[in-house]
Chains A and B, each alone.
Chain A
Amino acid sequence: MSRFSRLLREAARFLWSSRAYTLLMMIGLIIGIASVTVIYELGAGVRERVVSIMSGMGFGADAFFVSSGGGRLGVRRPGGGSRTLTPDDAAVLARVDNVAMVVPHLTLRRDRVSHRDLHTSTVIFGVTPDYGAARRWDVSMGRFIDQQDESQRRRVTVLGSATAEELFPGQSPLGQQIQVGSVPFTVVGVLEPRGGVGGPGRSRDDLALVPLSVAMRRLAKEDKLSSIRINVERADNFQDTVEEVRQILRTRHKLAAGVPDDFTIVTPDAVVELITRQSRAMVVMLTFISAVSLFVSGIVIMNIMLVAVSERTHEIGVRRAVGARRADILTQVLMESVMVSVLGGALGFGLGALLSWLLEWGFDLPTAFSLQGSVLAFAFSAGVGLLFGLFPARKAAALTPVESLR
């Protein structure tokens, strides 16, 4: 048996025989590490859920948006203000290398739609036939807007399931006429219900799609787009493609160097970033609070170790007398404090994981195992033990055998 493992056994024996001290030393760490773990698991869970919702919407890692108007995501609503993108922009971008699909799109103001004496208000989108494929959104009855609708500017519409239910309760809307503002449209399809929220106070199934050309000429009365959705072929060149699109649009819009973009590029990462920004701020704050509590538990460990060392002065003297070197005493006390901290950290991590699981199970809060969080917890607790054990350990080792036996 090596000297190191013999000392380790002595240290473990002390912790076991002084269980009350051991528990006292661990309790702060257990609570601190448990709360850090919960915070990190919640943070990771929120992020994971946002990403999964977005890829469910077809906004995974292979697509991005260019929307009209400058500014920054989250500061100005994309699509608000004046529209700067044109169908020609979209046509040019379709020829860029690595671009798989370009889906131009026009969002109109919420407008009144009616069928006979029933009416509701909904958001009208001007879209191209690719829209459904790009967003992985199929029709549950009828058909989607096709190329003829677009090129011949047919006044046809595909309704969201909620809007269809409002205007045609209990009957098929296919072939029926609706009025959008004062313009009549024929319903050719109804979208699959998606559920969830599509905007402030609005269901995602509350919408009406019309051919882009019709939306521009008959409803918006200008040949401008709200946004262009771009799917890339290879995700590894994603950033290069985003940058190329930016430069092409700046050239086409004749923007001089130094003039800010008159469009905004929205990537999935940026959206996740925006949505999780608030929860990240909370993570930072709670991490800070936990760090303070871990620091305090480090002080507690140091104090209890100091008490234990002075209580064990005679024991240390006997150990020195029977042949312990200063380094042996120092090592043993350090082992004790590191062991107690790592044990406390492990228990805290277990408790935190259990609490996270309970939060997910009982309150449906999203949580996910966070490797970053667990590594941080273990590193932190071992560090606390090492740092705050050093002073008591040095104190224990500093005594001469005679001093400690007296």
Chain B
Amino acid sequence: MIRLKGITKTYQTGQVSTPVLLGVDLEIAGGEFTAIMGPSGSGKSTLMHIMGLLDRPSGGSYLLDGHEVCDLTDDQLSVLRNRKMGFVFQAFHLLAQATALKNVLLPFVYAGPYPTDAQERGRRALAAVGLEHRLSHRPGELSGGECQRVAIARALVTDPDLIFADEPTGNLDRRSSYEVMAILQGLSAQGKTVVLVTHDSHVSEMCSRVVRLVYGRIESDQRNPSPLSAAAMLAGLPPEQDQP
């Protein structure tokens, strides 16, 4: 699905150039649940942004489904993001003034033709993350974990092949983290390709593959034949105290 070859990225700030990625070769097959780990400044977020077509590499080649994407125009990249990808961010990035359902429907604003069943698909996506009872709540009325689940629903609603999650549990408590990871594991089980950036090794233990990045290069790339089940971890937590 994703084939990176010799990907480099250098940020230019005035006279100072900062190399971030020094040649990354990486193949990710469909259905894999890959964690990209590394210390701060290792370039893991930059790598995810390049894979998610949010940023362009300075050099190298990126084949997405066998097609080179480095030569595509800005508009073509927008269309690919809209059709094939979904994003989950650490800070949720929901529209504060819009309801959960409106937030989830945002990708359809920029879809080619507007699907006639958009509302229905938005409801289904929210139901898939267990928020069918929160359709008309605004982000301010939701907990952090619920916000992140709305964000996942927004990433799901167009039924993309690829889900990118940048520190999705970074702002969440333990319980919400397990909930989010359980949803992502479920998506992976359905055949979606999930790429997750994290610095939390506990989170990476729930992924089927862990790519470790240090100073812009891949240091290790390990398969994890028996990832921890987030759902099982969630079940093992002591019962919630005062959740209405």
Q: Which residues of A contact B (CB under 8 A)?
A: 1-3, 6-7, 10, 13-14, 17-18, 314-315, 317-328, 400-402, 405
Contacts and interface: CB of A to CB of B under 8 A. Distances in A.
B106 interface: yes
Given A314-B93, A401-B54, A402-B55, A322 B74 contact: no
23 contacts: A6-B114, A7-B109, A13-B98, A17-B97, A17-B98, A314-B91, A318-B89, A319-B106, A319-B109, A319-B110, A320-B54, A320-B78, A320-B81, A321-B54, A322-B86, A322-B87, A322-B110, A325-B74, A325-B79, A326-B74, A328-B78, A401-B49, A402-B54
B240 interface: no
Contacts of B108: 6
Interface in B195-233: none
A355 B87 CA distance: 53
A327 to B, nearest CB: 8
Contacts of A314: 91, 93
B75 interface: yes
Contacts of A318: 87, 89, 93, 95, 106
Interface of B: 49, 52, 54-55, 74-75, 78-79, 81-83, 86-87, 89, 91, 93, 95, 97-98, 106-111, 114, 154
A402 B78 contact: no
Interface residues of chain A: helix, strand, loop or mixed (majority): helix
Given A318-B106, A322-B110, A401-B49, 17 more contacts: A6-B109, A10-B109, A17-B97, A17-B98, A314-B93, A319-B106, A319-B110, A320-B78, A323-B79, A323-B110, A324-B109, A325-B74, A325-B75, A325-B78, A401-B55, A402-B54, A405-B89
A396 to B, nearest CB: 14
Nearest to A2: B114
Given A13-B97, A13-B98, A315-B95, A324 B54 contact: no
Contact of B110 (A2, A17, A324, A402): A324
Contacts, number: 75
Contacts of B78: 320, 323-325, 328
In the A-B complex, list the 6 residue pairs whose CB atoms are closest, starting with the nearest.
A323-B82, A17-B97, A323-B110, A322-B107, A401-B54, A402-B55
A405 B83 CA distance: 20
A403 B110 CA distance: 20
A29 to B, nearest CB: 24
A1 B82 contact: no
A405 B111 contact: no
Nearest to B75: A325
A350 B87 CA distance: 46
A326 B110 CA distance: 11
A320 B78 CA distance: 7
A308 to B, nearest CB: 12
A269 B78 CA distance: 63
A402 B89 CA distance: 12
A401 B81 CA distance: 11
A322 B91 contact: no
Contacts of A10: 109
Contacts of B79: 323, 325
Contact of B54 (A17, A319, A326, A405): A405
Residue among B87, B95, B114 with most chain A CB within 10 A: B95
Nearest to A18: B97
Contacts of B111: 323
Residue among A2, A321, A324 with most chain B CB within 10 A: A321
A322 B82 contact: yes
A324 B55 CA distance: 14
Contacts of A18: 97
B88 to A, nearest CB: 10
A52 B74 CA distance: 64
B27 to A, nearest CB: 23
A4 to B, nearest CB: 11
A324 B98 CA distance: 17
A317 B109 contact: no
Contacts of A323: 78-79, 81-83, 107, 110-111
Nearest to B49: A402
B37 to A, nearest CB: 20
A327 B49 CA distance: 21
Contacts of A7: 109
B154 to A, nearest CB: 7
A328 B93 contact: no
A326 B78 CA distance: 9
Contacts of B87: 318, 321-322
A325 B81 CA distance: 10
Contacts of A1: 114
Nearest to A401: B54
B52 A321 contact: yes
Nearest to A9: B109
B110 A328 contact: yes
A317 B111 CA distance: 16
A323 B105 CA distance: 12
Contacts of B106: 318-319, 322
A388 B27 CA distance: 48
A14 B98 CA distance: 10
A272 to B, nearest CB: 55
A405 B74 contact: no
A317 B93 contact: yes
B184 to A, nearest CB: 17
Nearest to A317: B93
Contacts of B55: 400-402
Nearest to A16: B97
A13 B52 CA distance: 28
Nearest to B110: A323
A3 to B, nearest CB: 8
Nearest to B80: A323
A323 B85 CA distance: 9
Nearest to A323: B82
A317 B83 CA distance: 17
